[in-house]
Amino acid sequence: MLSEKELTAFREKLISLSEEKDFSCEADALCFLDKAVSVLEKESKALRPFDRCGRPGGLLDFRKKNTPAVIVPDIHGRTDFLLKLLSFNLSRTSLKKNETVLEALNRKSLIVVCVGDGIHCEHRAMVRWQKSLEFYKKGIVDSEPMKDEMRENISTMKIVMELKNSFSENFHFLKGNHENILNENSYGNHAFYKYALEGEMTRAFMEKVFGDAVIYLIDSWEKNLPLCAAFSSFCVSHSEPAVFFKKRELVNFRENPFITESLTWTGNDQAEDKSVCRLFHELTGKKESGALWFAGHRPVEGKFFYRQNASLIQFHNPEEMNCVFFNFDKKFNPEEDIISVDTERWVGEAGSGASGACGGQKGNVEVLEDNVPLEQCGVFEKYSGRKST
């Protein structure tokens, strides 16, 4: 646990990371990443059941803990989101604790789980991506607009890794489909584009500015990330689970790329019927009828959107800074417990409560989606006839 003075210094360090203008030299980047990879590789068996090779598996197991939790949606280069989350006071939630998220992390009285997708700014950076693409087509991979994009991405991931390195038992980051620095079509990953050639352009930039050794360590960090978190009352993954599979398959995810793909790439209306309820029961031991699963990946309007008969809650609104605040001492209510940490945008009117500037289920947003949806990857063809025994 950090002292008050140390925690203040740590907070200031994160702020300085968000304001960095220059890129680290290769040696500094390698040292930083080596530590980040080591932290993931050394996670405990109690927290992440080991696979058959003795490595931390794909599941974060919190079933024996009733520590309050915060679930963070897709970040996509928003350093301000992370900083506002850390400074958010829990007295504004049902937890009624007069301390910030960062202070609670430091006291180990709170668990934070991010659903992944740390990089690649979305719609707010569409014009910048398109300008970067024009330079890229001319052979310029490190143009000024691309540098601006990568400053945000790198700062974001530095903050994520600093938090993981400092609060390894209580801060966690799941793998999303954008954690694919190689822009590869393997290991459950797929090359992607949306507003430009984001995956390809990011790899090219990193190769030129940092070199292959840095890319190798980033890839190692990504491939050591967990895929799913199971609590006593709910589960979390980047995307809606595409199909049902056994717990041991999730733990041994490195043996089957489909597991990674199933938890990071599922689009709307692509999941197998009751996949959430069945997998919830498999991971928690609780009845399917009480299933509750949180996911990001596909954007929503307002606070949340129900899927699979309200067993799945999508809550990634890229225009907001909404997080799930889960209190095990009360029944979860998405209207009350999905809260914006951007207090500057709060309505502040009578009756608005702690709901932030937007509320309620409004549906999914019609936006460009990452290419290569699951049905085009042959996922269901690969899975057909397969038995989970």
Here the tokens at position 99 are 């301390």
pLDDT of 369 over the 80 cut: no
pLDDT at 370: 66
Please say if the pLDDT value at position 256 is more than 90.
yes
The confidence band for 343, taking pLDDT boundaries of 50, 70 and 90, is confident
Q: Tell me what pLDDT residue 374 has.
A: 42
Q: Quick one: average pLDDT of 28-32?
A: 96
pLDDT at 240 over 60: yes
Q: Is the pLDDT of residue 191 over 70?
A: yes
Distances (CA, A) of 211 to 33, 36, 201: 13, 18, 14
Predicted local distance difference test score (pLDDT) of residue 217: 98
Residue 354: pLDDT over 80: no
Question: What is the pLDDT, as a whole number, of residue 345?
Answer: 63
Beta bridge partners of 237: 228, 295
The Cα 173–Cα 180 span in angstroms is 14
User: How far is 74 from 365, CA to CA, in rounded Å?
Assistant: 15
Tens digits of residue pLDDT in 164-187: 999 999 999 999 999 999 999 999
Q: What single-letter DSSP state applies at residue 24?
A: P
Cα–Cα nearest to 74, from 306, 294, 281? 294
Of 195-199, 279-283, 360-364, where does mean pLDDT reach its minimum?
Answer: 360-364
Q: Is the pLDDT of residue 253 over 70?
A: yes
Please state which of the ranges 35-39, 153-157, 317-321, 362-366 shows the lowest mean pLDDT.
362-366
Q: 40 near 48, Cβ under 8 Å?
A: no
**What's the rounded mean pLDDT across residues 208-219?**
97
Whether residue 53 is predicted with pLDDT greater than 70 in this model: the reply is yes
Q: What stretches of the chain adopt beta strand conformation (E)?
A: 59-62, 69-72, 111-114, 171-173, 228-231, 235-237, 293-295, 300-302, 305-307, 312-314, 322-326, 338-340, 361-364
DSSP letter for each residue of 107-159: HT--EEEE-S--SS--GGGHHHHHHHHHHHHTT-SS-HHHHHHHHHHHHHHHH
Quote the percentage of the chain above a pLDDT of 90.
87
pLDDT band at 199 (very low <50, low <70, confident <90, very high): very high
Model pLDDT, residue 78:
97
Band of residue 375 on the pLDDT scale cut at 50, 70, 90: very low
E-strand spans in 276-321? 293-295, 300-302, 305-307, 312-314
Pairing, β 300-302 against β 361-364? antiparallel
Alpha carbon of 261 to those of 18, 250, 322, 329, 382: distances in Å? 31, 11, 25, 34, 12
Q: What rounded mean pLDDT belongs to the chain?
A: 91
* Cβ atoms of 361 and 303 closer than 8 Å: yes
Report the distance separating Cα 295 and Cα 254, nearest Å.
Answer: 21
With bands split at pLDDT 50, 70 and 90, how would you rate the model's confidence at 381? very low
pLDDT of 344 reads 75
Nearest to 163 by CA among 100, 61, 265, 86: 86
The whole-model pTM stands at: 0.91
**Mean pLDDT confidence for 90-102:** 95
- Please answer whether residues 78 and 149 qualify as being in contact, where contact means their C-beta atoms are separated by less than 8 angstroms: no
The amino acid sitting at 282 is E
Q: How far apart are CA 175 and CA 31, in angstroms?
A: 22
What mean pLDDT do residues 212-234 have?
A: 98
Check pLDDT > 60 for residue 365. Answer: no
Q: What is the largest CA-CA distance in the chain?
A: 59
pLDDT at 257: 97
CB 65 within 8 A of CB 137: no
Q: Are 343 and 357 in contact (CB under 8 A)?
A: no
What is the pLDDT averaged over residues 90-96?
94
